[in-house]
Structure 1
Amino acid sequence: MIVLVKVACLGNRLVNLQERPVVDEESWAFDARKTRMCEDQKAPRTLWRTSSLVGELQDSLASRLALKPEERDKQIRRFKLALQELTQRGVDAESLVRYGMIPEILGPVLGVLLVHRLLPQSGVDTDLQGSGVDVAGWRALLKIPAATSATSATPSQVQELVLEVSREVFDPLLDWIRHAGLNELVHLIPPEESDFWSVTESVEDETHLRHKYRWLVERFTQTYLANWSLAALHLEYRWQKDIDPSSFPDSIMRDRNVSIEDLNAEIAHRAVLESKSTSESLAPTLFLMNQLENHAVTLLRERQYSESAALFNFAIHQWPNDPRAHNDLGFCLIPENPSKALVHLTDAARMGYEPYAINTYNKMCCHLGMHQPRAALALAEEFWRERPGESALTGVIWKMTEEGWRLEQGVYIRSAIAGLVASIASAHGWEEEEVLWRSREQSAPLGTRKK
């Protein structure tokens, strides 16, 4: 649900991956976050992998408003260093930000304003104001009314507002991104109203630019092809098949090799399920997911299960075939309605949700809540068989205690799967299974964190 990263580097040492030869993904699974966290943070950015530099830009934009002022300043300095180094390597880094990181630029303000319509009592407006963002100014500029009561808007009411925002203000927003200074984009400084609404150029002409730079962002920050946009998959295919040349330097593109077999499989999967439209746009709804997820964790810690579920009911209302939305809704439902949670988690798996380990653990929790221990064990066995070398990521999970479900953060998922089965086996007297899974729990590797 929240992307938080923790990595165990080889031999407890920071490794300069720039010195490692680039190998294909069959022999070394690409993991952008693990690579970046293993970079020497004090080393010149000239020694960093390209994927690490792109991830630095993306994470700086995504986290800049959630930090304390002094930490935010450090993050902005890191952003500028990555920008400079990518420019030196032949990438138009400013265009990479303007056209490839639109969700990260606009996501915080659009997400906060629209989530506030869903849950006006959440205080999410105050959180953004504390980061120095002119919330009132953006609300007035985008014509998003403030919530006036403690009564939440219905998903259909918020959907209508989203559609209205998309129709009326999204072209001006894209035009603002195209012309504003980077400092204004990074700090979300709203433009003058008269300038904002005086859009004279069509933003449709830049669709290819947005897709091209987003492809580069996803290529170097998304480990799983299931999390790429359809446009990025198509651009990768066209480039690999020499249908279209890449406008990016070869030295940049060689920083990651994508398996053509995996690429073909993912494109075919999308075509069969029609899980994502071929006309993927940059509608404001695309920017809501991270904000929904961030706020849902806060609600879940306060045991406000129905409120957190309401966020993802809205998401599924918007994107009925989005695996991430189904997985997140299922996660929120586990404590109170495990059978309904299992339906959404199964749908997410069918739609190709990644990381697979997280979906597996969530479904195991459902079976535990439904008093089906053997079903949970079968899921774990299937995962261990099908994903023997999956990198060990960590994240926010549910853990059953004597007092009920408790939210825990930073737990290694692969180890948690083994530990959960071992606990079930212990409770039921399955001695052989307990010994086996205790051994697997202890041998599970450490790695990246994601939920």
Structure 2
Amino acid sequence: MVGSKKDQILYRALAEFSDACDIPELTPACPYYQLQADGSPVCGEECKDILGDDLSHVVASEPLSLGSDLAASVRTSRRPRPRRSREHRIAFDARQIYFVEHTRSVDSWSMTSLIKGLQNEVAWMTLKESEPDDRLAVVEEISAELARRGVDVETLIRQGLYDDIAGSIYWHLRNSLPKREDGLGWVDFIKKVMPDFDGWALETDNDIQSVIDALSCYLPRWLLHSPMKDVMSHRITADPDELLTAIETLPPRDHDAVWLVERFTTTFLEHWSSHSLEREWRYIHTQRAGCCPPGFMRERAIDLHQLALLLAEIGARHVSGHEKRDDSPPIRQLRVDQFLPLAISALEKGDRAEAVSIYRMIRRVSPEDRQVNNNLGFCVLPDDPQEGADLLESAIAGTNSAGPLLAMTYLNLALARLLLHDYEAATKAIELASQMDMEGFFGWMWDLEAVAQGYWVLKHIVGDDLRLYADDLEQMVAASAQS
């Protein structure tokens, strides 16, 4: 429907106002204009969202008479200006942002920390079952703040955090079945679904896959239809037949909720779903609204060139018939990032066996996963440097990227080779790591000073400190080779 002339002139005036807003000065007269702590101006391009949500309907095609029965369609609207990209030299890392902000009051957190914090607490609900009430209290506090900022928290949890909750439940079953105890109701539920189930431990890939297959048609219905308190505590009280009756009301995956989670928690675009990539592209290049209120979208800048390349690849696969299009909730087995803080906590307490057990369990499901092999290799190298080296080499072989994370893996490999007295291979690994960009790194490494004294503690490494770490490791290898 074509809007009134008043609406149309408002649309064109706002569009021209938006186009004339140049970086870096922006437009101080704009009501959304803000100054950052360093004094530089910033905005979330709220004008684009107003144009898309409120005014896009007011301009449409109008016929222009050409005489007789002929008419031409004249498009009185304008091609929308793409959103402006911002360069970030340091790679986005939600863990780093959350690590910095999580000790502050929740109402001061960024959108990134709120989404990451909610993901952590919900996904780890069964990992520390001794404190579920404390975790639920944190979830409720974060949820209230997200709701205050205009986020649909229930959809975010039920749809956007589906994979995280599923992984947490699989972890719970992995631990509860061998103990023959389960306070959340899942073992009894599986017994009803699998009459031959006798409480065996999940010790083989076939055992794990059997449970996953058995739950594949029930878990989405439990998550989407159970009371929110049950979902957040990961408790199941419904019978299988009750859940199956929900088959007709099972909605498609809410890809906006998935986009919201991936945009604010997943660093690498290649790990985003194709639906999220598509939404991000349309958000930047058309008048599509973002996955959260516009003022918060600016927290993360997206590499437009990489986004375009990934979408081109997805399009090519679709044309070739290789891209699967499925709107149903996927059943991913386990997420590696979900368990990182638990493993770090175990390592900081000196419990390497617990950290190793976490990643061995995930590796049974995803033996080719680069991140799994890297993390397991890191955890196991103090006690079995040969296995650690093998796992780290598998992680290196499983990636085509070259950056801080790959540099980290090479340095861990060098440490494993040092422990094996293979000084030439250790030196080579350090050289390869040194050739890579290490800017923006955020993670944990083994403290070399402690290693030299015969014990193992973690050291938090940020940014260029990784290059200093490489220099120290190189000196350590050289000294060992001469002794």
The whole-number CA distance in structure 2 between the counterparts of 1:196 and 1:272 is 38
Indicate if the aligned counterparts of 1:312 and 1:326 stay in contact, CA closer than 8 A: no
The whole-number CA distance in structure 2 between the counterparts of 1:306 and 1:38 is 27
2:171 aligned counterpart, secondary structure: helix
Match of 2:243 in 1: 196
Match of 1:145 in 2: 197
Match of 1:436 in 2: none
| Match 1:48 to one of 92, 109, 114 | 109
Residue identity opposite 1:161 in structure 2: S
Match of 2:101 in 1: 39
Indicate if the aligned counterparts of 2:166 and 2:333 stay in contact, CA closer than 8 A: no
| Match 1:105 to one of 149, 165, 178 | 165
Match of 1:236 in 2: 280
1:220: Cα distance to partner?
0.9
- 2:474 maps to 1:412: no
2:473 aligned counterpart, secondary structure: helix
For 1:2-401, what aligned pairs fall within 5 Å after superposition?
A: 21=42, 24-39=86-101, 41-43=103-105, 45=107, 47-67=108-128, 69=130, 72-114=132-174, 120=178, 129=182, 132-140=183-191, 143=194, 145-148=197-200, 153-155=203-205, 157-158=206-207, 160-162=209-211, 164-165=213-214, 169-193=215-239, 194-201=241-248, 203=250, 205-207=251-253, 209=254, 211-242=255-286, 245-246=289-290, 248-264=292-308, 278=324, 282-287=329-334, 289=336, 301=351, 311=361, 313-316=363-366, 320=368, 322-328=369-375, 330-331=377-378, 334=381, 335-337=385-387, 340-350=390-400, 355-369=405-419, 371-394=421-444
Larger mean Cα displacement after TM superposition, 342-351 or 279-288: 279-288
Residue identity opposite 1:110 in structure 2: Y
The whole-number CA distance in structure 1 between the counterparts of 2:216 and 2:114 is 29
Indicate if the aligned counterparts of 1:62 and 1:104 stay in contact, CA closer than 8 A: yes
Per-residue CA deviation, residues 221-257 of structure 1 (Å, 9 max, x unaligned), is: 2233354344433432343233855454322322222
1:96 aligned counterpart, secondary structure: helix
Larger mean Cα displacement after TM superposition, 77-86 or 132-141: 132-141
The whole-number CA distance in structure 2 between the counterparts of 1:116 and 1:295 is 19
Residue identity opposite 2:153 in structure 1: A
| Match 2:480 to one of 427, 435, 438 | 427
Match of 1:5 in 2: none
Larger mean Cα displacement after TM superposition, 278-287 or 86-95: 278-287
The whole-number CA distance in structure 2 between the counterparts of 1:233 and 1:256 is 14
Indicate if the aligned counterparts of 2:441 and 2:461 stay in contact, CA closer than 8 A: no
Larger mean Cα displacement after TM superposition, 387-396 or 100-109: 387-396
Residue identity opposite 1:286 in structure 2: Q
1:185: Cα distance to partner?
0.8
Indicate if the aligned counterparts of 1:324 and 1:348 stay in contact, CA closer than 8 A: no
The whole-number CA distance in structure 2 between the counterparts of 1:32 and 1:259 is 16
The whole-number CA distance in structure 1 between the counterparts of 2:90 and 2:401 is 25
1:206 aligned counterpart, secondary structure: coil
Match of 1:442 in 2: none
Change (3 A) 1:349 1:114: same
Indicate if the aligned counterparts of 1:32 and 1:52 stay in contact, CA closer than 8 A: yes
Indicate if the aligned counterparts of 1:101 and 1:217 stay in contact, CA closer than 8 A: yes
The whole-number CA distance in structure 2 between the counterparts of 1:141 and 1:393 is 43
1:352: Cα distance to partner?
7.4
1:420: Cα distance to partner?
2.4
The whole-number CA distance in structure 2 between the counterparts of 1:312 and 1:44 is 31
Indicate if the aligned counterparts of 2:93 and 2:267 stay in contact, CA closer than 8 A: yes
What TM-score results when the alignment is normalised by the length of structure 2?
0.65
Change (3 A) 1:264 1:398: farther
Indicate if the aligned counterparts of 1:327 and 1:353 stay in contact, CA closer than 8 A: no
Root mean square deviation, CA, Å? 4.4
1:163: Cα distance to partner?
5.5
Indicate if the aligned counterparts of 1:397 and 1:407 stay in contact, CA closer than 8 A: yes
What TM-score results when the alignment is normalised by the length of structure 1?
0.69
Which structure is higher in RCO with an 8 Å CA cutoff and minimum separation 6? 1
Match of 1:3 in 2: none
The whole-number CA distance in structure 2 between the counterparts of 1:270 and 1:429 is 52
Residue identity opposite 1:89 in structure 2: R
1:56: Cα distance to partner?
1.9
The whole-number CA distance in structure 1 between the counterparts of 2:317 and 2:416 is 25
1:393 aligned counterpart, secondary structure: strand
The whole-number CA distance in structure 2 between the counterparts of 1:309 and 1:260 is 34
The whole-number CA distance in structure 1 between the counterparts of 2:414 and 2:477 is 11
1:183: Cα distance to partner?
1.0
Return 5+ residue gaps in structure 1 as ranges.
Answer: 1-16, 431-451
The whole-number CA distance in structure 1 between the counterparts of 2:148 and 2:344 is 40
Match of 1:449 in 2: none
Change (3 A) 1:283 1:362: farther
1:217: Cα distance to partner?
0.7
Per-residue CA deviation, residues 158-215 of structure 1 (Å, 9 max, x unaligned), is: 36415622xxx32332122222222111112212204223223264x513x1x32122
Residue identity opposite 1:107 in structure 2: G
Residue identity opposite 1:170 in structure 2: S
Indicate if the aligned counterparts of 2:120 and 2:338 stay in contact, CA closer than 8 A: no
Larger mean Cα displacement after TM superposition, 93-102 or 233-242: 233-242
1:424: Cα distance to partner?
0.8
Indicate if the aligned counterparts of 1:18 and 1:49 stay in contact, CA closer than 8 A: no
1:61: Cα distance to partner?
0.9
Identical aligned residues as a percent: 21
Larger mean Cα displacement after TM superposition, 81-90 or 32-41: 32-41
